[in-house]
Structure 1
Amino acid sequence: MSQTTPTPRQFLATAPAGTRVVVRYRIDGGFTDALGDLLECGESECTVRTRRSDVGIPLDSVVAAKQVPPAPPRRSSRLTPPAAE
């Protein structure tokens, strides 16, 4: 019994808002990735909240998309002095 894998566009359209995703899409000169939380997916564009900003991605440019695990917790700054014992 074989399951059909959804296309990247189908995955983004059916993934609930807040799902952590990575989306690879075409840009001038190559490809780039957006890693973050899926905010919404419309008919022609999806929006991913990355660490830096919200990124609107035209669905016609998407070549791959999948769910990824939650981000690991941030490490403390190396400049912070160690706690006194």
Structure 2
Amino acid sequence: MTSDAAALLRGLQPGVRVVVRYRIDGGFTDALGTLTDIGKEECTVSTRRGHVVIAYPLVTAAKPVPPAPPRRPARARPL
């Protein structure tokens, strides 16, 4: 059975920034990044650490999120 969260993911367009909570051995984890692929059985989220492929039956929650804030410049080191 596919969850409402998986149905939401299927309705989004690639390029949308999302957070997806899904089941793993021993609990849950999240993937935060850009939705890059939406397939019949799974979706792919491009995170800072790489691509995460998530099977829809494992998805427990998902939602679109705003774009990431701009990165702050590095602090100047004192001399």
Q: Which secondary structure does the structure 2 equivalent of 1:72 belong to?
A: coil
RMSD: 1.6
Matched, 1:66 2:60: no
Higher relative contact order (CA 8 A, sep 6+): 2
Partner of 1:40: 37
Q: Which secondary structure does the structure 2 equivalent of 1:10 belong to?
A: helix
| Residue 81 of structure 1: how far off its partner (Å) | 4.7
Structure whose alpha-carbon radius of gyration is higher: 1
User: Runs ≥4 in structure 1, deviation > 2 angstroms?
Assistant: none
Q: Provide the TM-score with structure 2 as the length reference.
A: 0.89
Matched, 1:18 2:21: no
Q: Provide the TM-score with structure 1 as the length reference.
A: 0.83
Question: Alignment identity in percent?
Answer: 58
For structure 2, which runs of at least 5 residues remain unmatched after alignment?
Answer: none
